[in-house]
Amino acid sequence: MASKVGRVKSLSRRSFLKFVGGASLVGVTLNLTGCGKPITPDKAIGGNGWMPTQYNAPGNWPTSVRGRVPIDPENPAIVRDDQKCILCGQCIEVCEKIQSVFGNYELPIKKEFVCVNCGQCIQWCPSGAISERDDVNKVFKALADPNVTVVVQTAPATRIGLGEEFGMPVGTNVQGKQVAALRKLGFDVVFDTNFTADLTIMEEGTELVKRVTGELHHPIPQMTSCCPGWVKFVEYFYPELIPNLSSAKSPQQMEGALIKTYFAEKKEVDPKKIFSVAIMPCTAKKFECQRPEMNSASKELNDSKVSPDVDVVLTTRELARMIKRSGIDFASLPEEEYDKLMGTGTGAGVIFGTTGGVMEAAVRSAYYLITGQQPPAALWNLTPVRGMQGVKEAAVNIPGVGDVKVAVISGLANARKVMDQMKAGHAPWAFMEIMACPGGCEYGGGQPRASSPPSDEDRNRRAASLYNIDAKAKLRNSHDNPEIKQIYADFLTAPMSEKAEELLHTHYVSRAEDFIPKKSEENKLY
């Protein structure tokens, strides 16, 4: 018989819990510290919430074992390492209480595990068991191919998050170093998503003006559509409100479509040989780029061999891992500038990275689009829509229109309350900005993880950095961006033109048939 000496089986934290629970050891107490407040007792063991199979019946498990949210093995955005999971329930806490996704559907699931891909569970997971789906190797492979032109875009919030991965204070603006790092990694072209944030304002703002004036027969209020987690939330839980969503794509997807059409045409690059990468603070962007609707370049060029508009999305954390793997001394890098054509952004574009920023940028250009005059300085510091409150309201007086009421919401539990009010007939706003993540993109699921659960202190520091960039910008209105003027003159003709509609706008689909939503009591706006 073979000797058992030296055969050591690794024992994970989860296996240890199972061993202790079955051994009935006297005097042993398990307390998983650092996991925050417990969920309600009825969901700890044998409750109505989803639990791993072995916890579906009452037993002698410690009350600290609270389960976890289900993650589909095919989820394009997030994954879980079971060896690291300590079943502390923090992912349930954020998904149910902060995002109002978990627990708002009946079992069994019909088609797929309900998930808006926001990645807030990553930020709350104390053991690092949940992370983004790692696509770094796909990008390294493209960079190593001499026959491929690799084009990258960077979102507004990445520049005030990336530095934290290299020991810099929270909110440090590393825009120039980030550009330098991307070039050192081998990216052929480095663009700024701020450019298409400005473009989004032109398209979304024009759409809003047409809705308000009655030229476009779509319902009011118009709701932003640049957050893919929020859009999927509407598709799941409020499909009847899909017509209220702006048809404008997110800045990421606008840039992706233009990279393989406008950029390819201008620079005489074969679009079939372009590999488009987006660096985002968001895990839901990984889902968004894979949506079948996001293949506009292929349709525009009538060439099925052109890959999707954005081939790969990397989070801020993934970019940091690429930089570290490549041995790049990030702190010592010089400041470099984005490439031209689609690399110029305004202060309005950069504040897309925080809650209220899209609204503030939109109001500035809506004022211009309606009146033909530059917005007053007061609209460069629209304080009612700033800050970390979950629901904010403001009224902006625009000559010829009067007071335009707007609302800003971040965090999907807050959005649920407001959507329920809309269904009940209370919707006094013309325009609404909604972000899935509390505080907006600057603390998205792909941003650097703090040593403690997300806090408004860190969110405010990151947001303050974005507002500081805006305040110091030479251009603060999206409509003043010279590259925006150029792309309309050379390629798109005008906002919401036929070509703009084909490349920059999209539609959304109901996902309500995928599950049975739970009926909830009417929420009150606060």
Q: Any idea what DSSP says for residue 291?
A: S
Q: Across the chain, how many H-helices and E-strands are there?
A: 18, 12
Pairing of strands 130-132, 78-80: antiparallel
> Any catalytic annotation for residue 207?
yes
Catalytic choice (84, 138, 272, 293): 293
Q: Is the dihedral of CA 418, 423, 428, 434 positive or negative?
A: positive
Cis ω for the linkage preceding 156 (within 30 of 0): no
The three-point CA angle 275-136-158 to 5° equals 85
Q: Could you say which of 64, 100, 246, 478 is catalytic?
A: 246
Block residue for tokens 């550009």:
179
CA atoms within 13 A on the CB side of 417: 17
Catalytic residue, candidates 118, 226, 282, 437: 226
Catalytic annotation present for 35:
no
DSSP 518: P
Contact in structure between 129 and 82 (CB atoms under 8 Å): yes
265 included as an active-site residue: no
Q: Is the peptide bond between 334 and the residue preceding it cis, with omega within 30 degrees of 0?
A: no
Q: Of the listed 93, 164, 207, 442, which one is catalytic?
A: 207
Candidate list 96, 164, 288, 318, residue with the active-site label? 288
Active site residue 483: no
Q: What is the DSSP letter of 521?
A: P
Q: Cβ atoms within 10 A of the Cβ of 475, count?
A: 17
Q: Assess whether 246 carries a catalytic annotation.
A: yes
d(CA 401, CA 370): 8
**278, containing H or E segment:** strand 274-280
Distance between CA 54 and CA 31 in Å, rounded?
A: 19
Residue 255 catalytic? no
Any idea what the Cα angle at residue 191 is, between residues 185 and 193, rounded to 5°?
120
Closest listed residue to residue 468, CA positions, set 56, 208, 156: 156
96 is catalytic: no
Q: Pick the catalytic residue: 85, 118, 437, 441?
A: 441
The DSSP H or E segment spanning 189 is strand 189-192
Catalytic residue, candidates 260, 285, 392, 417: 285
Q: Is 226 a catalytic residue?
A: yes
What is the Cα–Cα distance from 391 to 412, expressed in whole angstroms? Answer: 11
Q: Taking the C-alpha atoms of 239, 242, 244 and 247 in order, what is their torsion angle to the nearest 10 degrees? A: 170
Pair of tokens at residue 523: 């929420």
End-to-end CA separation in angstroms for the chain: 71
The HSE-up count of residue 79 (CA atoms within 13 Å, CB side) is: 10
Q: Which residues are catalytic?
A: 204, 207, 226, 246, 285, 288, 293, 441
